[in-house]
Amino acid sequence: MTSLSDAQRPHDSGVEPLRAKCGWIVALGVVYVIAGLVALSSVVLATAATVFLVGIMMVVAGVAEVINAFQFKSWGKFLLWIVLGLLYIVAGFVAFENPLLTAAVLTLMLGAALVVSGIMRIILAFSMKEGMPWMWVVLSGVITLLLGAIILARWPVSSLYILGLFLGIDLVFAGVGWIFVGLGLKSRA
């Protein structure tokens, strides 16, 4: 095979700093893969960690909402913003106090969202123009629909492991992606 000449190879000055740090990008990918494998080795613990993180985000968002409400006292929606902020804070503390309930609610919402998303993709696929790769969209929709249906069929038991399982899988795939980006940058250097 012949390689691209310098004239044919696209020059992107934004890529050069990344090439210099490709080893760090590969290392980041390795950390992601290790974290994903740890999560997959204990999906219940990973689910608990996910619920804890959601709780933290809800408390932080709630506090920000309350602070923001005081910035716009004259706007007439002050009370609404305060109530929304307080609801976020309470929901965050509920996540800390009852992580199993939080995991159950999040898993139920995830299963329902996947079912609806799968159905919508299937409908979208059958409305695509001729000549478009609609079968891939149908396949994606069917897989998403089935995942959601499996989660819902096993709910509430699936609440113990689904969030951790999805977190672990996401970390592994993200890590593999970063590893390939880093290796790709290194090979083009």
Q: Give residue-wise pLDDT tens across range 36-91.
A: 999 999 999 999 999 999 999 999 999 999 998 888 776 667 888 899 999 999 99
Cα–Cα distance for residue pair 57/102, rounded to 1 Å: 13
Cα–Cα distance for residue pair 178/29, rounded to 1 Å: 5
Can you tell me the mean pLDDT for 109-118?
Answer: 94
The CA-atom distances, in angstroms, between 4 and each of 11, 13, 14, 109, 187 are 12, 18, 19, 49, 13
The string of pLDDT tens digits covering residues 68-81 is: 888 877 666 788 88
Window from 8-17, 121-130, 170-179 with minimum mean pLDDT = 8-17
Please indicate whether residue 10 or residue 98 has the higher confidence score (pLDDT).
Answer: 98
Which residue from 187, 183, 188 is spatially nearest to 28, judged by alpha carbons? 183
